Amino acid sequence: MTVMWTQASFNQFLLSAQMKYLEGNIFINFYIFGAAGILAVIIGGAVYSNYGLKFSFLISFSMSIIGSIGMLLI
């Protein structure tokens, strides 16, 4: 659990640090980044309360792997 927390915090920091290098307006990018974070907290809380801790981790890391592969392919 500590490793997962550290990994998530580090990824959040890296995304925030690299935000200025993404295409488009930096302010719009931060608004979208914040909206995605709020949506993730809402959906994550619902998934956790309905399915439990183990299945929530499985879903979140599966989505992360699929998203990472998609970003690498683009």
At 9-43, the pLDDT tens digits run 888 888 888 888 878 888 888 898 889 889 988 99
Q: Which two tokens mark 10?
A: 């580090």
The one-letter amino acid code at 70 reads G
Taking the mean position of all CA atoms in its chain, how far away is CA 34? 11
Grouping H, G, I as helix, E, B as strand and the rest as coil, residue 1 is coil
Q: Is the pLDDT of residue 7 over 80?
A: no
* 22 dihedral zone (left: phi>0; alpha: psi -120 to 50; beta): beta
Nearest-angstrom CA–CA distance, 16 and 30: 8
pTM: 0.65
Under the banding of pLDDT at 50, 70 and 90, the label for residue 6 is confident
For the chain, the structural domain boundaries read: 38-74
Kindly tell me if the per-residue pLDDT of 1 is higher than 80: no
Q: State whether residue 22 is helix, strand or coil.
A: coil
